[in-house]
A and B are shown apart, each in its own frame.
Chain A
Amino acid sequence: MIRRRSPMPLMCMVAGLALSVIAGCSKDWPAFRHNMLRTAQQGRCSALADPTKAPNLAVRWTYPPTGALSPFRASPVVYKGRVFIGNANGRLYALDANTGTLLWQYPSAASPALTSQFTCNPSSMGIASSAAIARVNGVDAVIFGAPDRSIGSGLGEGRLFALNAATGAELWKSPVVARLSGTTFGSKTEFHEQIGYSSPLVFNDRVYIGVANHCDNPIQKGRVVAVHLSSGTIDTGFSYCSTGTCADSTRGGGVWSSVAGWSDSVYVTTGNVRAGQTFEPSPNHGLSMLRLNKSTGAVIWQFQPVPWVLDGDPDWNATVSYHAASCGAMIVSTQKDGWTHAVNVAPSGGTASKRWTFPPHITPFSPTDGTAHGDTRYMRSGAVWRDVYITLNGGLNLTSSGVTGGLRRLHAFNVCASDAERLRWLLDVPSTTPCAPGDTHCYRVGQPVVTRGMVYVGTDQGHVLAIADPSIWPAVGWRCSNPDILAANCVASGYSFVPEPTVLANVALPDGGRIVYSEPALARGKLFIATEGGHIYMLSP
């Protein structure tokens, strides 16, 4: 008698594995901030997560091996042994993850590069948007946004591309998603939209991307555009505009960040509205953290800590993280003014339900509370590990000493703790060279990522640091929670001691190029990072 095995266990295993991949359990780094929640967390075990091995971190290959490309502002994504990244020269590169060998580039060397005629900051130079991996009609695809002079006005309007990840062959190209109808600075009759600061979110059968502008010259109406994953055509059922209606002439609320997604919603942050405008538009979704219906774009809740009257251009530039903590799910991000905010995923009576702000403060801010909210460069996204959120933040001395100190300092927050125990640890990232006279924003740290308590981050001096949460490796010491207070006076002054984590590795990359926009990608025990010196490096312990 032949007994037929039930296919159920196999089906369960396949389903589980599929869920595992969907849920971000990837050993790879298939998206900006690793996954659709934008947690910047590599959950799999590897040598990078081992504090005893991290000190051995060293460069294993460099691309290009000789010479240099233009600066990299995009971050690498890694999938099935390939590294994908766009460059300011307008080309996307696919490299062998083990050797750094070039597999293909798009467009080919013989074809025009993907560049814009309107260039004013790093987000408008070639391909600044990080790519994302997806399955398109059964094919592994790499999807990215870039300007393209072969469409529309011919000036470099922004669109999305889907390429075969194995060959670089085109699968589809979207219609224009970011309009560029002229290059006259300040023109209010031309569209000056761009997508360089937003990485595509692949979420179910849609791809979402945020639309901002070219250097506020002038500000444009912020939008999120969704296209169909299978074809790249615009999903006309989804519509989000930051001010007024999508058809009116109001401006502002540029989406300078990447969209995050989970369940029935997508999450986004928006930029300034007041620049060059006399009246506040209605509605005004600028300078906000937003939860949107993923199918329609309708606003489910809005958290706007800085009201119109205080809008000094603190664009909310950092991408949000969906933080599924032990005390509940929250959306966390740091605004450009140096304040970090956590908002419950679930609304309260239809409005946003704030969980906490650091440094602690009542929101919305008011004109009489003494706070200032300008373009003070807290633009980096944070990383999520269990109940810990690692980010740049203005710190407990934000209002008393100004905003610049926190730009070289990493904060880790206990997201579920009370305000008194919010700060988990504090680290002044080591600097190797003095700041130039008058450089008030020196010294800058890039976007942290984390794997099992090991934090990796680049710096504007071209270093990669490995930092251990004190729960996995002893702290180097304890310091006052307010960076302006001497340890001897800390408790008496009304503050508390917090640990300073140990920097287990501090690797100077050969080109010394800044790493403030690009994030490290952690995949299968390897760290991939790109610099403004025009190189991609692979490091491993």
Chain B
Amino acid sequence: MGKPLGLLQGTLDMLILKAVSLGPLHGYGILLRIQQISKDRLEIQQGSLYPALYRLEHQGWIASVWGESENKRKAKYYRLTAAGRRRLRSETENWNRMADVIAGVLRTNPEEV
């Protein structure tokens, strides 16, 4: 396992949506969940997480509610909205198409041109 990768521009939103699509989480939980499912291969600036959450909430893709954390403290939980679910689906499709195209481009040999 090498050095964790920095995030590509615009991918944090997608990761957050994916993380909360598995169940409501507080901000710290989202961070842990992304690290867990990426097997610590992605590095996320903790400070940049919250502006992203606020932006997604403002856009209506996630919603928040105050609840109690595992260790009995008040924490703000985020969950995916219906609009967020649609958004995640279309983002995922876009990403997969884009990844195929880019990968294809990068695989190209000189004689294929």
Is A bound to B?
A: no
Residues of A within 8 A of B (CB): none
